[in-house]
Amino acid sequence: MRIRKGKQVTDYYTKQRKRNMLVGGFVIVAFCIFLWLIFIFGELPVAVSGLRSFEVLVNFPQAPGVQKNTAVKYLGYQVGRVIGVTPPFLFTDSITGKKYHQIKVTLAIDKQFRDIPSNVDIVIVKRSMASSYVDLQVDPNRALEPMDPKRPETRFLTSNMPPLYGTTGMMSEFFPKDVKEKLEKLTDSVTRLADSANEIIGDKANQANIRQSLANINAATAQATETLKSLKSFADTGEDRIKQTADKLAAALDEINVILTRINEGDGSMSKLINDPQLYENLLDSSQELQLALEQLKILAADMNKKGIKLKW
């Protein structure tokens, strides 16, 4: 009887061990399948983000390179991800009544970042390799007001807000916003200078200070032409507006070259040039702005060349 009882106990533990091993095997297999599904469909990050983040809807005229899990950055720091991109839909402007297509992008922003102003500029910034990220840009001079007067908390980004409006500008990580603004300012300044000079070009004259200013602009013009050529050789921004801005600058500089040629050949009025204080100030200002902006362009071009980027014009 003792032998039989001991044998029964042994059989019982053996069966328990086999059952536990079988259950453990099923658990391991199920966990492996779960990981495989996450790898294939990539839904876990989105599901988890819904628990620890709030959603913000943004309408864009286009969304190149934006997809699920695209990074959302604020002051260069990642604060969330894109969790949804809808196909283009027909949008009606409530002010003008015009209809045009938009793309709705859903941003999931971490709940710890509830102090982001709701009046931020939401811009899609293009990277290399056709990827992008969504950048939240703040203007410190812009007044902080709630989007909904009945909800003071809408001074900052929060959930259940009406859709915001984003832009897809000429910005890229290789063409910063400050450089773009300086280039546009320079273009406007040179264009105004050319228009003013064309109005008063006439007879010959020789004044050292004016000739020195013109010489400075002539040198800067040559530098601009060289820099623009280098940008065409190895820049990469992927935006048509950069080409337009560069062409506009090149055209304005060509016009100044024509003015310089006419003055040097004697077909102009240096006395009128001297007596026009506005033109004289424009000459000095444009000379300085050309030097500053061109230095920025040379640094940008060198950085692009180092990274082996090429621009398609």
Whether pLDDT at 224 is above 70? no
Residue 298: pLDDT above 70? no
Structural domain harbouring 87: 52-167
pLDDT greater than 50 at residue 75: yes
Tens-place pLDDT, residues 175-197: 566 666 666 677 777 777 766 66
Are the C-beta atoms of 128 and 309 separated by less than 8 Å?
Answer: yes
Domain's final residue, options 136, 167, 198: 167
Q: Which whole number is the average pLDDT over 221-249?
A: 58
- CA atoms of 14 and 26, how far apart (whole Å): 19
Flag whether 312 is in a domain.
no
> Band of the pLDDT at 203, cuts 50, 70, 90?
very low
Same-domain check for residues 216 and 274: yes
Identify the CA nearest to 284 among candidates 276, 268, 266, 205: 276
DSSP 154: G
Would you state the pLDDT for residue 93? 81
* Residues 27 and 131 occupy one common structural domain: no
Cα atoms in the 13 Å half-sphere on the side-chain side of 113: 22
Whole-number pLDDT of residue 41: 56
Lowest mean pLDDT among 83-87, 153-157, 267-271, 280-284: 267-271
Task: List 250's β-bridge partners, or say none.
Answer: none
Confidence at residue 164, expressed as pLDDT on a 0 to 100 scale: 93
Return phi, psi of residue 155, to 5°: -65, -25
Residue 47 lies in a domain: no
CA distances from 228 to 72, 225, 300, 302 (A): 33, 5, 11, 12
pLDDT in tens, 106-156: 999 999 999 999 999 999 988 766 678 999 999 888 888 888 888 889 999
Q: What total of structural domains would you count in the chain?
A: 3
Asked if 234 and 129 sit in the same domain, the reply is: no
User: Which band of pLDDT confidence, cut at 50, 70 and 90, is reported for residue 301?
Assistant: low
The verdict on 136 and 239 lying in the same domain is no
Q: Which of 141, 170, 164, 155 shows the shortest CA–CA distance to 238?
A: 170
> Which of 148, 167, 186 is the endpoint of a domain?
167
Local confidence band at 77 (pLDDT 50, 70, 90 cut-offs): very high
Q: DSSP for 223-271, please give it.
A: HHHHHHHHHHHH-----HHHHHHHHHHHHHHHHHHHHHHHHHTT-S-HH
